[in-house]
């Protein structure tokens, strides 16, 4: 090896000094010194488990170099404002808990040794866990069309794919057939495109490519006409991931430190200049515009880079927002749960290996990875902002209290709207307790006096917000603390109701009834016997004896709410396979399914849209039980859809409805 000239050494040192000076200016000298030390450490990896490979093969591959106690499940945050789905999916990611110095955290992936050729898929993918967090926040669901715009080498595409075809999992596949999902993974560089295609073939069931569900594309995303070259074209994708090419400063730093040890040059550090960042930002902005053009109304986009520079992160998002007209401004999604993993920035989140979560002893080892979540919300009837307050039962509180609750919710929503609100054109107020004409008229008067005076004002019970208004008869089932089933005709007029009798006389299939059944089961077991359910409930409410439980249930106000709070323990244990918890969930799900069936006698089931609302019906295990019971009872509806919030359903319904006046 030829000796390195003194001039070259000076040139590299000058570049390294400029690199440090630049980021000390961006992060502050003290923070940069600590962050640089963390970045200099070997990159920390997690293992994404491939659900399409048999779990026995996955275990064998991972345990080849370490015991099972060396691994821990990486708990992913829930996606902000997740879309409800009746089809359970899973993304599993492992981290090492006790890696020795110099020891690699995970063995390399290997093909499963399965007699079935379609199952000889690689067992896991080693990647930075921050990448999995970003992909999780995209909220991919079965039935979605997904575009991964800069996909090579394929780790994020493989992560997204884990949620698209749960009925093809090698172990415990979903009993419900997934609706047709599509994944289009794009990479313009020829060599990287070939590597991407090879990796997807190694990890995903071959029939997905054979049937055109997974497709590898080679399109230049910076081209103004790129969006028209994608198979689904403009506004064709439910979800778009843009992990844009970037400066990748951690790679530059590692190359430089390695060159210092070996006495060689690092071309990556020699080539680095602040102007390179600005040049890449132009490319990233062009890609972001293409990604946005490919997104459906109501769709979600994530813009991500592994850059440390604000120029490639928040400033790119800011430049993009400046190009979008005010009526079509995207909404930036936020989530408190991400603070455990990332620093919050102006428009998104930045995972850095010196980030320390509140209360944590050690910093997170992940990153760098910046990501921003963008959601279309505009005049097309999509959600622009959301505010929550309450409780707000009109019948159970004073007029002043009720107005204050509604004002609080409206205020919280208005704070999120990225444009000025002029006059309100149409307002729909749905609130519990607005069941009689007298109460509706009182509420209308209060709204016009204290809140809004729009040309069109609708006042209804909160359950009516879930009625789909799609020209078909519909049944709305709500199971939260209580339960009720409502039937509507094709014009959205209430036809009848079942249940809703309150916790003393009814509420079958509710969280209250499920919690009550669990407490009964605990109290009726012999004193010498314990169950996982008893242990879980004891952890929740710190109760251990029968007297404790009885006192907790019957002493003080809000007994109904306290009993209902036990329900999540029961559904959680049912998900884990506990037979007692499963039997309790199944029994209450049957009660609710029977009420839904009884409410459909006024029309043919195949003509009816069913909507499921309330906190208990957003639990995937309880949802699935209700739907399974309806199937066993012989009901095949036009559609069954879980709705996470009545406001979202009402917005979509009213946007397509005629602009009626006050009612």
153 assigned to a ligand binding site: yes
At 400-453, the pLDDT tens digits run 888 888 888 777 766 655 555 556 666 777 777 777 788 888 888 888 888 877
* 647 tagged catalytic: no
Of the candidate ranges 86-90, 154-158, 185-189, 224-228, the one whose mean pLDDT is the lowest: 86-90
Q: CA distances (Å), 633 to each of 108, 125, 587, in order?
A: 49, 43, 14
Greatest mean pLDDT among 26-35, 65-74, 171-180, 261-270 lies in: 26-35
The reported pLDDT for the residue numbered 314 is 93
- How large is the greatest C-alpha to C-alpha distance in the chain, in angstroms? 93
Q: How many Å apart are CA 181 and CA 51, to the nearest integer?
A: 16
Asked whether the predicted pLDDT for residue 71 surpasses 90, the reply is no
The reported pLDDT for the residue numbered 425 is 63
Per-domain residue ranges for the chain?
Answer: 28-376, 399-466, 483-654
> Residues 360-399, buried b or exposed e (16+ Cβ, 10 A)?
eeeebbbbbbbbbbbbbbbeeebbbeebeeeebebeeeee
The active-site residue, picked from 306, 342, 625, 647, is: 306
Tokens of 158: 């493989």
The reported pLDDT for the residue numbered 99 is 63
- Is residue 332 within 8 Å of 372, Cβ to Cβ? yes
- Bridge partners, residue 186, by sequence: 217
Domains 28-376 and 483-654 share a fold: no
Q: CA distances (Å), 343 to each of 128, 211, 353, 364, in order?
A: 16, 41, 11, 11
- Bridge partners, residue 343, by sequence: 350
CA angle 335–338–342, rounded 5-degree value: 135
187 assigned to a ligand binding site: yes
At 260-299, the pLDDT tens digits run 888 888 899 988 888 888 899 999 999 999 999 999 888 9
Fold adopted by 28-376: Rossmann fold (3.40.50)
263 assigned to a ligand binding site: no
The reported pLDDT for the residue numbered 587 is 93
The reported pLDDT for the residue numbered 297 is 80
> What does the pLDDT average to over 66-86?
77
At 11-48, the pLDDT tens digits run 889 989 999 999 999 899 999 999 999 999 988 889 99
More confident: 154 or 399: 154
The reported pLDDT for the residue numbered 660 is 41
Tell me the pairing of strands 145-148 and 237-243: parallel
Q: CA distances (Å), 506 to each of 397, 481, 553, 641, in order?
A: 22, 12, 18, 24
According to CATH, what is the number of the domain 483-654? 3.30.420.40
The reported pLDDT for the residue numbered 113 is 80
CA 217 from centre of chain: 26
156 assigned to a ligand binding site: yes
Question: How many CA atoms lie less than 13 Å away from 466 in the CB half-sphere?
Answer: 28
367 assigned to a ligand binding site: no
The sign of the torsion formed by the CA atoms of 188, 191, 192, 196 equals: positive
């Amino acid at each position: 090896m030829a000796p390195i000239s003194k001039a070259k050494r000076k040139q590299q040192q000058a570049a390294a000094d400029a690199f440090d000076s630049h980021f000390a200016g961006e992060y502050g000298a003290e923070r940069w010194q600590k962050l640089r030390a963390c970045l200099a450490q070997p990159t920390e990896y997690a293992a994404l488990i491939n659900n399409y490979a048999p779990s026995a093969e996955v275990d064998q591959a991972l345990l080849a170099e370490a015991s099972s106690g060396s691994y821990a499940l990486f708990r992913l945050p829930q996606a902000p404002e997740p879309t409800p789905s009746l089809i359970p999916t899973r993304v599993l990611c492992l981290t090492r808990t006790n890696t020795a110095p110099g020891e690699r955290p995970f063995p390399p992936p290997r093909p499963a040794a399965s007699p079935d050729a379609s199952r000889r898929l690689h067992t896991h993918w080693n990647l930075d866990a921050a990448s999995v967090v970003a992909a999780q926040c995209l909220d991919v669901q079965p039935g979605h069309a997904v575009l991964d715009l800069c996909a090579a080498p394929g780790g994020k595409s493989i992560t997204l794919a884990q949620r698209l075809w749960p009925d093809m999992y090698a172990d415990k596949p979903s009993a419900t057939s997934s609706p047709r999902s599509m994944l289009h993974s794009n990479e313009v560089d020829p060599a990287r495109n070939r590597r991407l295609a090879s990796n997807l073939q190694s990890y995903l069931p071959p029939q997905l490519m054979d049937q055109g569900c997974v497709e590898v594309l080679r399109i230049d995303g910076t081209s103004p006409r790129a969006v028209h070259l994608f198979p689904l074209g403009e506004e064709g994708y439910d979800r778009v991931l843009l992990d844009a090419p970037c400066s990748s400063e951690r790679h530059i730093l590692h190359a430089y430190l390695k060159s210092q040890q070996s006495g060689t040059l690092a071309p990556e550090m020699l080539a680095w200049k602040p102007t390179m960042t600005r040049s890449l930002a132009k490319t990233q902005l062009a890609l972001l515009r293409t990604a946005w053009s490919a997104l459906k109304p109501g769709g979600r986009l994530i813009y991500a880079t592994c850059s440390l520079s604000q120029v490639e992160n928040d400033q790119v998002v800011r430049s993009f927002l400046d190009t979008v007209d005010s009526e079509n401004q995207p909404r930036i999604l936020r989530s408190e749960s991400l603070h455990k993993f990332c620093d919050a920035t102006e428009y998104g989140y930045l995972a850095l290996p010196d980030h320390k979560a509140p209360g944590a002893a050690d910093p997170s080892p992940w990153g760098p990875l910046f990501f921003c979540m963008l959601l279309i919300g505009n005049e097309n009837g999509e959600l622009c902002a959301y505010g929550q307050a309450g409780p707000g039962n009109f019948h159970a509180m004073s007029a002043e209290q009720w107005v204050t609750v509604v004002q609080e919710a409206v205020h919280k929503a208005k704070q999120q709207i990225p444009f000025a609100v002029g006059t309100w054109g149409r307002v729909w107020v749905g609130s519990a307790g607005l069941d009689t004409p007298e109460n509706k008229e009182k509420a209308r008067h209060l709204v016009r006096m204290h809140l809004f005076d729009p040309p069109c004002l609708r006042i209804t019970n909160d359950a009516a917000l879930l009625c789909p208004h799609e020209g078909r008869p519909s049944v709305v089932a709500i199971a939260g603390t209580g339960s009720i089933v409502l039937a509507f005709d094709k014009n959205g007029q209430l036809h009848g109701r079942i249940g809703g009798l309150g916790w003393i006389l009814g509420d079958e299939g509710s969280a209250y009834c499920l919690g009550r059944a669990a407490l009964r089961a605990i109290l009726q077991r012999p004193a010498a016997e314990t169950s996982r359910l008893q242990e879980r409930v004891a952890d929740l409410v710190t109760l251990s004896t029968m007297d404790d439980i009885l006192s907790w249930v019957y002493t003080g106000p809000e007994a109904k709410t306290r009993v209902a709070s036990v329900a999540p323990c029961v559904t959680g244990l049912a998900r884990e396979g506990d037979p007692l918890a499963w039997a309790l969930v199944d029994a209450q799900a049957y009660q609710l399914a029977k009420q839904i069936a009884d409410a459909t006698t006024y029309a043919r089931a195949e003509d009816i849209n069913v909507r499921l609302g309330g906190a208990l019906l957003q639990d995937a295990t309880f949802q699935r039980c209700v739907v399974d019971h309806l199937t066993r009872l012989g009901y095949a509806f036009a559609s069954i859809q879980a709705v996470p919030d009545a406001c979202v359903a009402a917005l979509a319904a009213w946007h397509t409805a005629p602009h009626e006046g006050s009612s």
